[in-house]
Amino acid sequence: MKTALRVVETATGAPLNTKPRKHRKNPHAVALGRKGGKVGGVVRAKRLSPEQRHLIAKAAANARWGRK
């Protein structure tokens, strides 16, 4: 691997930076995402009828514990 980097450095005349760059998330975008995520499930649960919630829970239980 070092030889490939040396070839590129020789061809371009500039040393390559092999250190990975740190990816930082935008804190404002993270806060907005968390806010929407926290609210979304509560609002959806309020809109569902008890029968709909029962069917969703039953399907989830079958997916997790049902026979394959």
pLDDT digits (tens, 9 = 90+) for 7-26: 777 778 777 776 777 778 89
Q: Into how many domains does the chain fold? A: 1
Distance from C-alpha of 45 to C-alpha of 56, rounded to nearest angstrom: 11
CA atoms within a 13 Å half-sphere pointing along the CA-CB vector of 46: 5
Q: How far is CA 22 from the centre of its chain?
A: 17
49, part of any domain: yes
35, part of any domain: yes
19, part of any domain: no
Q: For 38-44, what is the mean pLDDT?
A: 84
**Residues sharing a CB contact under 8 Å with residue 48, sequence separation 6 or more, in sequence order:** 56
40, part of any domain: yes
11, part of any domain: no
The radius of gyration of the chain's CA atoms, rounded to the nearest angstrom, is: 26
13, part of any domain: no
4, part of any domain: no
Note the pTM of the prediction, 2 decimals. Answer: 0.43
**Domain extent at residue 34:** 28-68
38, part of any domain: yes
